[in-house]
Amino acid sequence: MTSTPPRPRSGWLTVLAPGVLLALLAALRPLAVPDEGRYADISRWMLVSGDWLVPRLDGLPFFHKPPLTHWLQAASLAVFGVTPWAARLPGVLLACLMLAGVYAAGRRLAGEPLARRAALMLGASGGFLIGGQYVNHDIGVAAWIASAIWCFVLALWDGERPHAGWARAGFAACALGLLTKGLIGVALPGLVIGSWLLATRQWRKIIHLPWVSGLALFVAIALPWFWRAGERYPGLWSYLFGVQQFSRYTSSGFNNVQPWWFYLAGCLLLLFPWAFLAVYEGVARWRGKAPAAPDDPTRRLAVLCWIWLGAIVLFFSIPRSKLIGYILPVLPPLALLAALGWQRALAARPRAGRWFAAAWLLAAALPVAITLAAPRIEGGKLSRDVAAELACRAAPGDPIYALGGYPMDLPFTAQTQQPLRLVQDWARTRAEAGDTWARELFEAGDFEPATARRILLQPEVLAQAARQPQAWLLAPRDLPPDQRPLLAGWQPVSEGQAWALYRSAASAAEGPETSQHEGLPGCHAHGGKQRQP
């Protein structure tokens, strides 16, 4: 391992400055749908219900992912309030952890200049500045996967005997990855480290890892939730690991079918424009233009990074269903390869520093522009306009029905205190639904049938609900004509860009709303007032 000079204090500004920018961007847009609305409200519901064991979507057990992301988000909401920024804060911090890993590990393995440049490139990328603020599990599991890989690499880099402390930290990071998004939190670090050790003929080091203490630490972190939740819901393990992970990986019946080259293009977009320098670095090494000394630290690092990049891209390219966030774990090696490409192609040229600064500003400007434009781009899909109206009119105990869909962002925005009552022909939906929000909910209801019967309702309930005082109904503006007769007896209240709000005829017959309660908590979040007539 190369010796490095004492760490300059300014080096960590390469982590701090992009982190501050990311935190600012995370406050500038509403929740996107469906993912951000769904996952933010699952975390909020932990606070409303007091149940931190079971993630719940609209009051029903939601076992698509383990709970660590929701624990972190719920804790943030408890401290900072129920806002999109608070829901995004754990992802921001985990993105910064991934950025810090690139700087710290790169500096240890190849020196300060390369590490700083790689961190700056990653910090000005869309993968960091957009992926790091998005409320889902992807940035979290990417950070734990990258941390696990770096810990094992640092444990195995020098000598015949692994460093036990770094190895145990790697086992702990794998456990946190498992608690974030399931088996890939363990499988991908194992795939990368195993491939690297075999390719570099270091596989004998595996037997010297602290397996007993490392696995004990892994089990102590990861097992308790799986054990307790599995006892409460006997089918949880087969659903979480069998259906949501193994079947999604091997089957073709899920959404987002993409061609085999999808993730190759995704790498270029996530680290645009720096990723093209990584391509240049790879071509130069393949053509033999790189230093050939076996002890050259940049050569060793490049081998590791290409194996890391290739293994994960190949792993996720096999399934037909593909989402761009799945390959966030490749950002660290891609940034280091891009930094090597810059060092080879441009670092020695006159005014290279000025060119790098200009490129950094242009690279960061694109995700900033996308973030600023997001409210206009997403506005036609969101329900925040009617959510604000509902929050200031409804009481916490008022029944709220939804017909023709599920406004994923509304419960979080209005801060409803009970599940929405979702009206569908559920027998037909169960027979015909693909990989949709409806399937998420009726499969969740299978874990608690009694709860599902109170939440997943048939269309005929709406006629009776219209005669209830203080009942509310949400329906899409483009509700199909064959469902419009179900609105009989409901009085229009407000029409937003995507959703419309109605109240029951019984409420309308009582005249203007005069109750002096303070509405739902979301009313205050939007600067609203008490109920208006």
What digits encode the pLDDT tens for the residues 430-487? 999 888 999 999 999 999 999 999 999 999 999 999 999 899 999 999 999 999 999 9
Residue 352 CA: distances (Å) to CA of 51, 290, 342: 55, 20, 9
Predicted pLDDT at 515:
46
C-alpha–C-alpha distance, residues 161 and 151, integer Å: 14
At 194, is the pLDDT very low, low, confident or very high (cuts 50, 70, 90)? very high
Sheet holding 490-495, edge to edge: 456-457, 421-423, 400-403, 472-476, 499-504, 490-495
Q: What is the mean pLDDT of residues 191-217?
A: 96
Pairing relation of β-strands 400-403 and 60-61?
Answer: unpaired
Predicted pLDDT at 186:
97
Chain-centroid distance of CA 157 in Å reads 31
> Residue 386 pLDDT > 60, yes or no?
yes
> Residue 530 pLDDT > 50, yes or no?
no
Average pLDDT of the residues of the chain: 91
pLDDT (tens digit per residue) in 307-353:
999 999 999 999 988 999 999 999 999 999 999 999 988 877 888 88
- Most distant CA pair in the chain: distance in Å? 86
| Higher-scoring residue by pLDDT: 7, 142 | 142
Percent of the chain with pLDDT over 70: 92
C-alpha–C-alpha distance, residues 57 and 82, integer Å: 16
Nearest partner of 222 among 189, 180, 255, judged by Cα: 180
Residue 54 CA: distances (Å) to CA of 49, 51, 410, 453, 508: 10, 6, 21, 19, 38
Torsion sign, CA atoms 70, 75, 76, 80: positive
Q: What is the mean pLDDT of residues 489-508?
A: 90
Predicted pLDDT at 532:
42
Q: Which residues touch 501 (CB under 8 Å, ≥6 apart)?
A: 386, 389, 390, 472, 473, 474, 492, 493, 494, 495
Predicted pLDDT at 27:
96
At 294, is the pLDDT very low, low, confident or very high (cuts 50, 70, 90)? low
Name the one residue in this structure whose structure tokens are 């996530």.
270
For 443, the 3-state DSSP assignment is helix
pLDDT (tens digit per residue) in 130-169:
999 999 999 999 999 999 999 999 999 988 899 999 999 9
Predicted pLDDT at 531:
45
At 1, is the pLDDT very low, low, confident or very high (cuts 50, 70, 90)? very low
Predicted pLDDT at 192:
98
> Residue 235 pLDDT > 70, yes or no?
yes
C-alpha–C-alpha distance, residues 171 and 150, integer Å: 11
Predicted pLDDT at 6:
46
Residue 398 CA: distances (Å) to CA of 171, 394, 417, 470, 507: 48, 6, 9, 6, 11
Q: Beta-carbon neighbour count of residue 144 at 10 Å?
A: 30
Predicted pLDDT at 246:
86
For 412, the 3-state DSSP assignment is helix
The amino acid sitting at 116 is R
Predicted pLDDT at 2:
45
Q: What is the mean pLDDT of residues 53-69?
A: 97
The amino acid sitting at 425 is D
Nearest partner of 303 among 332, 337, 267, judged by Cα: 337
End-to-end CA distance of the chain: give it in Å, rounded.
72
C-alpha–C-alpha distance, residues 70 and 78, integer Å: 12
Name the one residue in this structure whose structure tokens are 């847009």.
29
Instruction: Provide the residue count of the chain.
Output: 533
Predicted pLDDT at 159:
85
pLDDT (tens digit per residue) in 75-121:
999 999 999 999 999 999 999 999 999 999 999 999 999 999 999 99
The amino acid sitting at 396 is P
Chain-centroid distance of CA 485 in Å reads 39
Angle at 501 between CA 498 and CA 503, to 5 degrees: 165
Predicted pLDDT at 435:
85
Helices (H), 236-292: 236-237, 248-250, 262-270, 275-286
| Higher-scoring residue by pLDDT: 44, 349 | 44
pTM: predicted TM-score of the whole model, two decimal places: 0.94
Pairing relation of β-strands 400-403 and 421-423?
Answer: parallel
Predicted pLDDT at 292:
54
pLDDT (tens digit per residue) in 355-385:
999 999 999 999 999 999 999 988 889 999 9
Q: Which parts of 59-138 are beta strand (E)? A: 60-61
Torsion sign, CA atoms 425, 430, 435, 438: positive
Tokens in use for 165? 């402390």
Residue 533 CA: distances (Å) to CA of 392, 395, 413, 415, 500: 11, 14, 21, 21, 17
> Residue 290 pLDDT > 70, yes or no?
no
Predicted pLDDT at 403:
97
C-alpha–C-alpha distance, residues 77 and 62, integer Å: 19
DSSP 516: -
| Higher-scoring residue by pLDDT: 4, 469 | 469
> Residue 251 pLDDT > 90, yes or no?
no
Based on its alpha-carbon atoms, the radius of gyration of the chain, rounded to whole angstroms, reads 26
Pairing relation of β-strands 456-457 and 421-423?
Answer: parallel
> Residue 533 pLDDT > 50, yes or no?
no
Predicted pLDDT at 350:
87
Angle at 462 between CA 461 and CA 466, to 5 degrees: 125
For 426, the 3-state DSSP assignment is helix
